[in-house]
């Protein structure tokens, strides 16, 4: 990052801190929430109806998974594209997204199931102990929840922030009922910028912790 870009980011964070004021997030959680607000210019993720919610073990579990060089499974290519590739490489993490797989597209046509559902099933071996980042497809989140309830997978962290009017709020509500480490939010808002900035912030936190240890 250039000095100019760093200065702009620093000033942006200062503006966010000033406008939000007091909040009930701890320091690590706020680092994540602030970066989502920065990526979306939407304070609703911090203080409104779309407020970000953390499972008590979310950050701790994600750090353990990163230490083990886990896979990072994304629901769509746009989420994957916005994840910081240098951080992924530096931490030895394995980015994965199967939504565009030709065989899955054919299976989707034959079965009537969405590609995002099938992509979650296809990634089950990498989801187990990994981090799943869902920013666009509520059907992917519902399928992941179903797989967890079946005992098929147990991810270390679910970042479940799908956007949309149909099923997005409901999928997040179901996720929040699970005793599985998650970062999610309420309501319709979400999307690739929110989801990718969340995992980017988690990686930054882990890198900071490693460098200060």
Q: What is the pLDDT of residue 6?
A: 67
**Within a domain: 163:** yes
What local confidence, expressed as pLDDT, does residue 158 receive? 98
Residues of the chain scoring pLDDT < 50: none
The secondary element (H helix, E strand) that includes residue 122 is helix 115-122
CATH number, domain of 190, equals 3.40.50.10230
Query: What is the number of structural domains in the chain?
Result: 1
Residue 16 lies in a domain: no
Domain that holds residue 153: 51-212
13 vs 68: CA distance, rounded Å: 31
Distance in Å from the first CA to the final CA of the chain = 24
What pLDDT score does 123 carry?
A: 96
**What pLDDT score was predicted for residue 211?**
87
Secondary structure of 33-93 in HEC code, one letter for each residue: HHHHHHHHCCCHHHHCCCCEEECCCHHHHHHHHHHCCCEEEECCHHHHHCCCHHHHHHHCC
pLDDT digits (tens, 9 = 90+) for 91-119: 999 999 999 999 888 899 999 899 999 99
pLDDT of residue 5: 65
Residue 93 within any structural domain of the chain: yes
Q: Which residues are catalytic?
A: 38
């Amino acid at each position: 990052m250039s000095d100019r870009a760093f200065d702009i980011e620093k000033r942006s964070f200062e503006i966010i801190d000033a406008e939000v004021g007091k909040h009930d997030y701890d320091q690590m959680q706020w680092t994540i929430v602030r970066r989502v607000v920065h990526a979306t210019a939407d304070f609703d993720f911090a203080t409104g109806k779309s407020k970000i919610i953390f499972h008590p073990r979310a950050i701790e579990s994600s750090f353990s998974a990163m230490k083990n060089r886990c896979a990072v499974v994304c629901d769509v290519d746009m989420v994957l594209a916005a994840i910081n590739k240098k951080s992924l490489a530096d931490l030895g993490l394995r980015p994965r997204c199967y939504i565009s797989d030709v065989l899955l597209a054919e299976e989707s046509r034959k079965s009537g199931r969405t590609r995002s559902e099938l992509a979650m099933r296809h990634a089950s071996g990498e989801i187990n102990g990994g981090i799943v980042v869902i920013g666009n497809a509520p059907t992917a989140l519902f399928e992941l929840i179903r797989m967890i309830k079946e005992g098929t997978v147990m991810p270390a962290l679910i970042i479940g922030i799908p956007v949309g009017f149909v099923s997005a709020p409901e999928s997040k509500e179901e996720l929040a009922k699970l005793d599985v480490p998650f970062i999610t939010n309420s309501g319709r808002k979400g999307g690739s910028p929110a989801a990718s900035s969340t995992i980017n912030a988690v990686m930054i936190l882990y890198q900071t912790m490693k460098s200060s240890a």
